[in-house]
Amino acid sequence: MKWIFAFCFVIFAILLITGCGADGGGVPEIVGSAAHTVVQPLASVFQSPPTGGFTEPVDTGIPAAWYPPADREKGWKAIVLHHSATHNGSADKFDDYHRNGKHWMGVGYDFVIGNGNGSGDGRVEVTFRWREQIAGAHVGGTPGNWANEDAIGICLVGDFTRTSPTARQMDSLVKLVRFLQSRYGIPKSRIYGHSDTPGYKGHTVCPGRYFPMYRFKRML
């Protein structure tokens, strides 16, 4: 009987050892291979460029049209905000008015932000003044014409003596002005409403009493 017990014990021990050995040896391999099959594809996704020939740099959320051409970029020193004093409008519409009504070389602003009447609500249009980095025609009569020469002119469509800018216009304005501030090192103190532009001696009420200048500067 003893040898039967001994034999059973040996068989049991062998099963136990090989079983544990199989599990013990197998677990790390399975984990290892699982880790490889999971980690490697993920790693390769991060390391490889996305499919479809997409080669753009990381998306900063800034439209390419806002960047001036590198070969003629000016060192802008200030920003002047305007309203159009009209219910509707667009860069094209103001271009037509400034060109044919005032006999300027075209729209006087660098950027126009629509209100949904004539162009998209919050849509930022870039004019030829910005694309060519030339002086604007938006604040006449400052000493040495400094404001047209050195300040970026942004016009929001709307008559802010009667209504406020739309929420989307304000969102776009904040985004645009933040971009311009960081690119040219323009502090909040050099962001003006047309009527408050240093050296301006005219009587415009632009950008209107319902343009929320104080709140706008807190949003920057």
Residue selected from 82, 153, 192, 216 as contacting Zn ion according to rule CB under 5 A = 82
Which part of the chain contacts Zn ion (CB under 5 A), choosing from 8-16, 42-50, 101-109, 192-200?
A: 192-200
Stretch of 104-112, 121-129, 183-191, 203-211 contacting Zn ion, by CB under 5 A = 203-211
Nearest to 76 by CA among 19, 22, 122, 134: 134
Q: In the complex with Zn ion, which residue's Cβ is closer, 98 or 194?
A: 194
According to CB under 5 A, which one of 206, 208, 211, 216 is a site residue for Zn ion?
Answer: 206
Stretch that binds Zn ion, among 81-89, 90-98, 105-113, 209-217 (CB under 5 A): 81-89
Q: Which is nearer to Zn ion, 76 or 160 (CB)?
A: 160
Element (H, E) at 147: helix 146-150
List C-alpha distances in Å: 171 to 50, 148, 180.
30, 25, 14
Cβ neighbours of residue 132 closer than 8 Å, sequence gap 6 or more: 72
User: What DSSP designation does 70 have?
Assistant: G
Residues in contact with Zn ion, shown as a per-residue x/- string from 30 to 49 under the rule CB under 5 A: --------------------
**Measured from the CB of residue 174, what is the shortest distance to Zn ion in angstroms?**
19
Spatial strand order of the sheet with 124-126 comes to 124-126, 111-113, 151-156, 78-83, 191-193
What is the token pair recorded at 76? 């802008």
Question: Minimum CB separation from Zn ion for residue 160, in Å?
Answer: 10
Name the 3-class secondary structure at 24.
Answer: helix
Task: Compute the distance between CA of residue 72 and CA of residue 132 in angstroms, rounded to an integer.
Answer: 7
Residue ranges with strand state E in the chain = 78-83, 111-113, 124-126, 151-156, 191-193
Binding-site size, Zn ion (CB under 5 A): 3
Peptide bond just before 207 cis, omega within 30 deg: yes
The answer to the question of residue 98 lying near Zn ion (CB under 5 A) is no
Instruction: For Zn ion, give the closer residue by CB, 2 or 201.
Output: 201
Nearest Cα neighbor of 168 from 181, 156, 155 is 156
Query: Which is closer to Zn ion, CB of 137 or CB of 206?
Result: 206
Q: Which is nearer to Zn ion, 23 or 196 (CB)?
A: 196
In the complex, least distance from residue 194 CB atom to Zn ion, rounded to whole angstroms: 3
Q: Of the ranges 56-64, 101-109, 187-195, 210-218, which one interacts with Zn ion (CB under 5 A)?
A: 187-195
Q: Quick check: 194 binds Zn ion (CB under 5 A)? A: yes
- The site for Zn ion (CB under 5 A) is made up of 82, 194, 206
